[in-house]
Amino acid sequence: MSSASLTSPAARLRALRPDWLSDPKVWRTEVLAGLVVALALIPEAISFSIIAGVDPAVGLFASFTMAVVISIVGGRRAMISAATGAVALVTAPLNREHGFGYLVAAVILAGVFQIALGALGIAKLMRFIPRSVMVGFVNALAILIFMAQVPEMHDVPWPVYPLITGGLALMVYFPKITTVIPAPLVSIVILTVITVAAGIAVPTVGDKGALPSSLPVRGLPDVPYTLDTLTTIAPYAFAMALVGLMESLMTAKLVDDITDTHSSKTRESIGQGIANIVTGFFGGMGGCAMIGQTMINVKVSGARTRLSTFLAGVFLMVLCIVFGPVVSDIPMAALVAVMVMVCFATFDWHSIAPKTLKRMPAGEITVMVVTVACVVATHNLAIGVVAGSITAMVIFAKRVAHLAEVTAAPDPDNASVVYSVTGELFFASSNDLVGQFNYATDPDKIVIDLSKAHIWDASSVAALDAIETKYAQRGKTVQITGLNDPSADLHGKLTGELTSH
């Protein structure tokens, strides 16, 4: 083939085509994955609507618009975004105190905040989240997903338990027969047929709430467009923006690891904002990445493209509007079984194996435990990630605080002394620096050699100033040598400027 044909418009067009257009196997996987996710989204969206204090249709509409829009503008392929419990918890007080119009307005403003934060590079902060926090995040997620299923297994008719057991068995053993059809879909269909055909009375999707019978309608929030409205919704919108971005970016990173692919976190941040703005104008309650449904899509069903995300939203509306009566008959036991399987697939069992715990540093284990404990206690993944990251920083600071060493080498004629400082000087390590000099007995000339050290912050400059001051009070002079260029620049800018006397 000639080089010209490789660069022809037709060749470039073929190169840009999504995988699912040219590979029937990929297409089938994506379509079936989207259907499974849509079925799992319905009871979740209804439950989150109840948390937020709105009509079930509001959560379902939000899941539809979030999934469809993010499939186009998002940065992480195959990730599912929809109405979530974290967002519902943030916006529920606003809806309760001021009404639904204010909630919708807050969703739109949250989208604006997310676009701004994405453009400012908030996604770059992801690099500061330690692996132990990520492991704790994943394990806490699995625990939360399981805890959310417990109410569906408490005080229910006895047939629910064999149905859940049967659903789990199907998902474990059916893939040994074939992987053409996702095992969760097979489980849902078979359990639904059994309960309907046998007339078994168990809780169903329809018991969660009425499904919508029409598509959402575009409109503006019913609020006064005043500064007072803005000041009312802004705190809730900003909290929603932060929580939504944190969960979405953490989920995106998790999917990156599972699929061994890279995604644009900046694009994802901006995409989440666009999706929430669109959702708000269609009367939805807003949302972010859904970790449980994403795991169903990526890890259980094997989806890898934007098509599955798009179809999850489309199928959701089709199932509600066209097949509402059928979907309402799906036993909750079938969906509980799917989510329990997701829990086991999501949990990092290697992280708690005795062999791993013996080798892992105590600090790493502490960070993981703090992350899990905070998430489970607050039911808020964002709080757990923040707490875990802060714990990791404290442990790291404590670990490196003692890395700065000071050694003295007196001159033979006792006319001067050279102090060699080795290590990283920052707020933690520089606190002990002042106490490592012999101010009273040292000779009149003191040389502080920093050729093996680095100054990172104002605290270190202040410590060096304090050392010079203590020697000056005794009529002694201090010479600082060996500064590398960044350290010399910082020291030159700040020395003598950090105290008022």
The phi, psi pair for 180, rounded to 5°, reads: -65, -45
- CA 419 – CA 453 distance, rounded (Å): 12
Structure tokens at 132: 């132990």
Nearest to 168 by CA among 152, 194, 143, 190: 190
Structure tokens at 402: 């003692």
Burial class from Cβ neighbours inside 10 Å (0-12, 13-18, 19+) for residue 456 reads middle
Burial class from Cβ neighbours inside 10 Å (0-12, 13-18, 19+) for residue 176 reads exposed
- How much is the CA Rg of the chain, to the nearest whole Å? 29
- CA 45 – CA 499 distance, rounded (Å): 57
pLDDT at 11: 58
Segment-wise mean pLDDT, segments of 10 residues, the chain, 501 residues: 53 58 81 92 83 86 96 94 85 90 96 95 81 86 84 91 95 87 87 94 87 87 94 92 88 91 94 97 93 88 92 94 89 88 84 89 92 87 85 83 80 85 84 86 92 90 92 93 93 80 47
**Helices and strands per DSSP (H, E), number in the chain:** 21, 6
With a CB cutoff of 8 Å and minimum separation 6, the contacts of 244 are: 84, 86, 87, 110, 114, 272, 276, 286, 287, 288
- CA 204 – CA 194 distance, rounded (Å): 13
- CA 200 – CA 255 distance, rounded (Å): 38
pLDDT at 148: 81
- The strand pairing partners of 448, in sequence order, are 419, 480
pLDDT at 413: 74
pTM of the model: 0.74
- Please report the DSSP string for 301-363 in residue order: S---SHHHHHHHHHHHHHHHHTSHHHHHTSBHHHHHHHHHHHHHHHS-GGGG-HHHHHHS-HH
What is the Cα 376 distance to its own chain's centre?
15
Find out whether 444 and 480 touch, Cβ atoms under 8 Å: no
- CA 323 – CA 306 distance, rounded (Å): 24
- Please report the DSSP string for 118-146 in residue order: HHTTGGGGGGGS-HHHHHHHHHHHHHHHH
With a CB cutoff of 8 Å and minimum separation 6, the contacts of 48 are: 59, 83, 84, 85, 87, 88, 285
pLDDT at 1: 46
Residues present in the chain in total: 501
- CA 479 – CA 442 distance, rounded (Å): 14
- CA 245 – CA 255 distance, rounded (Å): 15
- Runs of H (alpha helix) within 420-483: 458-472
The phi, psi pair for 20, rounded to 5°, reads: -70, -15
- CA 132 – CA 364 distance, rounded (Å): 6
Helix axes 24-52, 56-73, angle to 10 degrees: 140
Nearest to 345 by CA among 169, 170, 141, 147: 141
Structure tokens at 97: 């105190």
Structure tokens at 22: 């040219």
